[in-house]
Amino acid sequence: MNTLKKVNLLICFFVITACGGGGGGGSMGDGYGSNSGNMNSAPNITNTTFAISVEENQTSAFTITATDSDGDTLTYSLSGTDSSQFAVSSSGVVTFSSAPDYENPADSNTDNVYEMTATVSDGSLSDSEDFSVTVTNDTSDDVTTTGYDGTILVMGPIQGATVCIEASAGTCTGAQYTTTSAQDGTFSLTVDSGTSGVIRSEGGFDPVTNLQFMENESLALSQPVTDQNFLVTPLSTMLNEFNSTDYETLKSKLGIDSNFMIRFDNPFSNLDSATYNKAAVVNTQAAIMYDILNALNPNPTSNSNTYKFTESVFNRTGSETSLGDTTFIKDFLTNLDSGFSPSSQQLVDLSAGISAYMQKIYANSSNSLSHFTKAGVTELAVLMRSVLDGTSTTEEIDKLVFNTINWINENTSWAGGTISDNESDLNITSYTLSNNGSSNYLVDSVNTSSTEMVIYVREGDVIKFEASNSVTASHPFKMSTVQNATASDSGIIGSSEGWDESTLTLTVGANTPDTIYPYCDFHSGMYSEGKIVKVSSYTQSNIDVTSSSTAMQVKGTIASGPFKGASGFTYKVYLSSQGDDDHPHTFYEYPGLTFYMPDTGGYHGSETSSSDELFKPKSHFSTSSSGGSGY
């Protein structure tokens, strides 16, 4: 009871007493009021636990318990840091406004601990306490993850590439799952279990040459797996672009061993293996081709250049598999795109230049492929584009086609050291060597003691005599500048002139004499009518071609004609015209000689020989009217 009420009561008490004094028979009360006291007490929060834990995915939190000694009606409220995430009922039940998600906390510092102050009031007095609600994980809804582990490879490992599960075809833009490839090209991409799709890489660089790939230069693999490491390469990209999983046909068309697994076998892990080496080279050739095609045809009218390239590979006929085959490249460029229409001469220069470069690419442990790729996607692509723009020169195109290694060394940023010529065997011409007792040698079955057989050579040529074991043991085969020489003759030549007697090989160089006479060191006259003549060029007058109209093959590089630049074994060649159904060629190795090839048959620059007789710059082809294959 407050003080004011007590004072008023006391005053009234005294007034009543005064009025009733004296007789009159009035009754006096007992002197005490009937109200014993009504002072208000504050409510009290009675919870004993203020740190509460609840599992995610439910709205229940806790209940505020409180008492009030006066029995007043109580009201409840929340305030503080995370109070907006909750609601409280008239009876003190606190609930989440929406069920909490452990994986996506909504509290102010996102640690899954929600903090607030609870207050209970009787309308005039109140009590408050601080509460925290910790949300715990419900493991039943946990997202399980899986990992894609692989390697990005082109001419070797690609570092710094963006790797993703593509969200839309052909790009990593908008992808939910991304990572970056390491220096060795490896990557690990963690995704939610059940996630699948195309693995794509964009950009990155070659750590050997620092060649940077643009973001629009990408690789893809359409069949990634989680149970073993896989590879993302130009070859896997071909199949992805073509929407194909026919690995076996692709390998067959490219000359890759059927046991090699494009998705799983790293070709750079064993370059000493012919199978792996071939796959490494083809991967690099394909990557260079992509860049060249994008330079030549930057805006395809339909489908990508990679798709069209893959389509041409799959539609390829015949036994030729090299991506450096001039026929394949010429036919492919002819039908590349409706918006791509080079002139005939441009088509010749493009197919010759591209094929010449592709044919020189090889793989070794000294990172040769990195340097071939850098020169190919920069300087070669620029030169090929200049063919279309009309700014290239005949001199540079011919240098690329016929002296490819010199062009690489002198016209590009090549920094890969000495280039090995993987087509050096094109300069080797082999002749069988046997004997007819001590009477005569037989060279390609020609009796060299009775037939004036002349072998013509130029500097750079290699002549190899392949002898049976019994020949040289009894008839040592030597070379001299003196015809029909003897063991004591002063004209005997050796290594300084290019002759290697142990391998019976003559490598023609500047010190090689202009005329050389083979002879037997034991028996006179075995090679008395034959000789080797060094010339600066081959001409019709040096070689009897008058009656050699049967089909042959030439080993070399075509110097002119629609298949300029084709190198290797060129089939079905004739030394004289066969009529209207053939077209002429000249060859770089045999300047001045015109060869004819059927319009509808044969190959231009095959990797392997055929059963046709190999043309050799020698004079022992048939001169008789009856024809025949030779003397």
Residue 27 in this model has a pLDDT that exceeds 50? no
Q: Do domains 44-140 and 424-534 have the same CATH topology?
A: yes
- Confidence band, pLDDT 50/70/90 cuts, at residue 10: very low
Domain 44-140 in CATH 1.10.3720.10:
no
Nearest CA among 454, 430, 287 for reference residue 358: 287
DSSP state string for 104-133: S--STTSSSEEEEEEEEE-SS-EEEEEEEE
Longest dimension (CA), the chain: 188
pLDDT tens-place string over residues 502-543:
999 999 999 999 999 999 999 999 999 999 999 887 776 666
In the numeric block, the tokens 């509290």 are attached to: 107
Residue 45 phi, psi dihedral angles, 5° rounding: -75, 125
pLDDT above 90: residue 383:
yes
Can you give the residue ranges of every domain in the chain? 44-140, 270-416, 424-534, 540-614
Q: What is the mean pLDDT of the chain?
A: 87
Classify domain 424-534 at the CATH topology level: Immunoglobulin-like (2.60.40)
Number of neighbours of residue 268 by Cβ within 10 angstroms? 21
When pLDDT is averaged across residues 171-198 and rounded to a whole number, the result is: 93
Determine if residue 517 is left, alpha or beta; phi over 0 gives left, psi from -120 to 50 gives alpha, anything else beta: beta
Tell me the pTM. Answer: 0.74
Shortest CA distance to 607 belongs to which of 358, 322, 361? 322
Distances from the Cα of 555 to the Cαs of 22, 464, 578, 614, in angstroms? 159, 15, 20, 7
Which H helix or E strand runs over 8?
A: helix 3-19
What pLDDT digit, counting tens, does each position of 481-503 carry? 999 898 788 899 999 999 999 99
| Residue linked to tokens 């990992």 | 147
467 φ/ψ angles, rounded to the nearest 5 degrees: -105, 145
CA angle 2, 4, 10 (to 5 degrees): 110
